[in-house]
Copies of this chain bind each other. A is one copy, B any other.
């Protein structure tokens, strides 16, 4: 009997351009190793309370470097990126909607499609993904209307659900995005995806 392969967990925050870039690459990487990817939106901001860190754009010198690096990285990966006008943002609403879809469907296919649409809306179309109207538009393919979206983003159930995800992430040592976890090994950053790739290829190194 063949043991099923462990899934790759993909911690992301919709406000992270590096997580966006990683989201464009992870499926090809995972397919190469016949792995599933579990997408886990969370809040980097919540980890800052534990680590005392700040977003790169809030740090002198790092700010300028990062804005250039992100766009250079996108060109290298041949991915579209138009840096958002409002940045960073609090991604709770989009995250709660992601987990709502996942719960409703009992599988993550639509939730992932929604996550990709959120990333594209924010980092390509430069839309405000904190707006209920924008989120409702992105939810149309998944049979949710504006009224339902308005309810979900403020529902106690999804608040509690999402808070638990964030708490669990911090408990596991996740402090940034993108963060990949497979078989207890953590890989932080789109720039560690080649390490993840080699790790899966060789069964560690």
User: Cβ of A62 and Cβ of B51 under 8 Å apart?
Assistant: yes
Binary B-proximity of A31-69 (CB < 8 A = 1, otherwise 0): 000000000000000010011111000011110110011
Contact code string A169-191 (vs B, CB < 8 Å = 1, else 0): 01001111000000000101101
Q: B47 near A51 (CB under 8 angstroms)?
A: no
Which residues of A182-205 have CB atoms within 8 Å of chain B's CB atoms?
A: 186, 188-189, 191-192, 194-195, 198, 205
A154 within 8 A of B: no
User: Complex Cα distance A175/B56, Å?
Assistant: 12
Give A61's nearest chain B residue, CB to CB. B175
Give the nearest-CB partner of A47 in chain B. B61
Residues in B whose Cβ lies below 8 Å from that of A65: 173, 175, 186, 188
| Beta-carbon contact of B175 and A76 below 8 Å | no
* Residue A86 is within 8 A (CB to CB) of chain B in the complex: no
A106 to chain B, nearest CB (A): 32
Range class of the A interface residue count: 20 to 34
What is the chain B residue whose CB lies nearest that of A199?
Answer: B72
For A186, the closest partner residue in chain B by CB is B65
Number of copies of this kind of chain in the complex: 2
CA distance A76 to B198 in the complex (A): 9
Task: Please tell me if A83 contacts chain B, counting CB pairs below 8 Å.
Answer: no
- With a cutoff of 8 Å between Cβ atoms, the chain B residues found around residue A195 in the complex are 72-73, 76
Query: Is the CB of A75 closer than 8 A to any CB of chain B?
Result: yes
8 Å CB contact of A191 from B59, B61, B76, B191? B191
Q: Are A69 and B205 interface neighbours, CB within 8 A?
A: no
- CA separation between A107 and B66, bound complex, in Å? 34
9 contacts between A and B (CB under 8 A): A50-B60, A50-B61, A51-B60, A52-B60, A62-B176, A69-B188, A72-B195, A76-B195, A194-B194
